[in-house]
Chains A and B, each alone.
Chain A
């Protein structure tokens, strides 16, 4: 067992004993075998000296136990790293950012406290997974949908706080958060929004309460431990309809995205989708690879026409009354018909509720609020994990052409071959590029992967594209790119951090924000 940085072995031993008294010895993990379970299986620094390994893990089962953990950590200045379900693979899993931190594992707090299918919200604890919440809703025959991200084993709370996304109209997860209960770094308990009003009847219905809106301070942050969170749900719609728009020339993406943006901004299309290039995502083909590496745009377009592969496509998911979704899709087709050569594909479509046979046939269950793990099926069978580079670019066709070309050329220049690039429209006015590549249990391969990742960060930032979220290994790199006015934003975050968490015990280094006593070490 290692010792947290700056903590004496005696102090750490004393803290462990006190945590054991507070939680029960069974829920304080100190053996190498147990601590090994908190390593990040998708770590880009696996088995390297810089791999951050926890010194211990503690697993409270209630708010009072969390408060006790925090107070003890404060006394000995022991850094804690909070996880909810710990399945944030590709972003750090259940491992801390700072080696030697004690993982505060909230998985045992897995109670669904309320689901309201009249006002469409849930109140959950951190350890509740999307699978758990879905099962609860099914068991109680409630007419609401959750909005799962691709892997369903994550937590609605953790995913929302990390500003993840799903696919239904509730796909912007942090936007769907309404009301939090938070243990502050000194152990005090606070409720946000209407939760600050004793006996409030609208904690999960009105986000803002009174005064400065503080919920955002707890997303991607190290200012508190969220112990309860309200999340808005989607009333089960009458129908779902997917229609796909396909265009066949590279520059068609410019008018296509312009029309798409209007559909999104007007609320005509409220699901999350992808602006994808099937030509860029297509299966490996030596002819296509040669064309992508140096062929002309015309030759690529000709290849696509010959093979029946559109240059760009957007699947448009519509949710709501059957007549409305049909009309929305007709409207989208009418708008897109202004693009010469555009083609359309109808379906699938569903009417709800689905029976068991129809449910089993659904190809992409997350699209209709059903959690799944099938996204891992996109990985090669021998995959050991993945990591994603995910910058935010404008919702603009030319930006997509520029970004795809740039990232592909960087992949090739550094010897990675073609990049597999796609996008998600998780947020209302911008697009997230998704550039996935493998992590390995191989030090040299991972070193090269980090070189690629850091080059992508640098080149993207030089063009005004910044990442929305990243693995703990790269949080400092990303934070460094948000540097307007000599890092004024980070300096502000540090001022707040030092005021709220003067001993710097909560998640040091999270998103590049270090407490005062560790700031030199970080620099």
Chain B
């Protein structure tokens, strides 16, 4: 039951969240460039991108995705996945994490 509740919450937040404003997206872009791009950017030597590509995730570059939700992004940043570690609040604050989520969901279809 608890798992169902969490799933419902995630779906609800994805479906009804207000579209992020441009300022928030720009802030998110800056934070993304600092913290995420070295692993998840385009070009050679980006192990996060390479790992996603090897596991069949398309597109493997996170900035090109249109299916990520804010809760999913926050889950990965705060809990890690595979060799990606967790990021503490002294590294990426909750406000910065909101901004990253705004940036990476900017192209999602309503």
Contacts and interface: CB of A to CB of B under 8 A. Distances in A.
Interface residues of B, number: 25
Given A375-B47, A376-B39, 15 more contacts: A34-B89, A37-B78, A57-B88, A85-B91, A94-B88, A107-B91, A373-B39, A373-B48, A374-B44, A376-B48, A377-B45, A377-B50, A381-B50, A382-B82, A386-B83
A29 B46 CA distance: 32
Contacts of A93: 85
A107 B90 contact: yes
A365 B38 CA distance: 12
Interface string B45-88: 11110110011000000000000000000000011101101111
Interface string A81-98: 000011101000110000
Contact of B86 (A39, A373, A383): A39
Nearest to B93: A26
B47 A374 contact: yes
Nearest to A382: B82
A374 B91 CA distance: 20
Interface in A360-389: 360, 363, 365, 371-377, 379, 381-386
Contacts of A127: 90
A37 B83 contact: no
Contacts of B82: 381-384
B34 A360 contact: no
Contact of B80 (A34, A41, A57, A383): A41
Interface centre among A27, A37, A107, A375, by most chain B C-beta atoms within 10 angstroms, is A37
B38 A131 contact: yes
A85 B87 CA distance: 10
B43 interface: yes
Nearest to A135: B34
A317 interface: no
B85 to A, nearest CB: 4
Interface residues of A, number: 41
22 contacts: A36-B79, A36-B86, A37-B89, A41-B80, A41-B86, A42-B85, A87-B85, A105-B88, A107-B88, A107-B90, A107-B91, A108-B90, A371-B38, A373-B47, A373-B48, A374-B46, A376-B48, A377-B45, A377-B46, A382-B82, A384-B83, A385-B83
A59 interface: yes
A152 interface: yes
Interface string A383-410: 1111000000000000000000000000
A225 B98 CA distance: 33
B90 A377 contact: no
A360 B42 CA distance: 11
Contacts of A105: 88, 90
Interface of A: 27, 29, 34, 36-39, 41-42, 57, 59, 85-87, 89, 93-94, 105, 107-108, 127, 131, 152-153, 360, 363, 365, 371-377, 379, 381-386
Q: Top 6 closest A-B pairs, CB basis?
A: A374-B45, A381-B54, A376-B47, A377-B47, A107-B90, A41-B85
B25 to A, nearest CB: 22
Chain A at the B interface: mostly helix, strand, loop or mixed? loop
A444 B86 CA distance: 23
Contacts of A383: 82-83
Chain B at the A interface: mostly helix, strand, loop or mixed? loop
A37 B87 contact: yes
Given A131-B38, A376-B83, A381-B54, A86 B47 contact: no
Nearest to A61: B90
B85 A89 contact: yes
A365 B45 contact: yes
Nearest to B54: A381
Contacts of A29: 89
Given A372-B45, A376-B39, A381-B54, A38 B83 contact: no
A455 B45 CA distance: 34
Contacts of A385: 83
Nearest to A107: B90
B9 to A, nearest CB: 16
Contact of A360 (B43, B78, B80): B43
A78 B85 CA distance: 27
Contacts of B54: 381
Contacts of B51: 381
Contacts of B78: 37
Contacts of B89: 29, 34, 37
Nearest to A132: B34
A437 to B, nearest CB: 14
Nearest to A108: B90
A379 B83 CA distance: 8
Contact of B90 (A41, A59, A371, A382): A59
Nearest to B52: A381
Given A372-B38, A374-B45, A381 B90 contact: no
Contacts of A41: 80, 85-86
Nearest to A371: B38
A383 B55 CA distance: 12
Contacts of A86: 88, 91
Contacts of B80: 41
B57 to A, nearest CB: 10
A373 B88 contact: no
Nearest to B87: A37
A345 B39 CA distance: 31
Contacts of A42: 85
Contacts of B38: 131, 152-153, 371-373
A381 B50 CA distance: 7
A85 B51 CA distance: 24
A105 B93 CA distance: 14
A377 B85 CA distance: 14
Contacts of B50: 377, 381
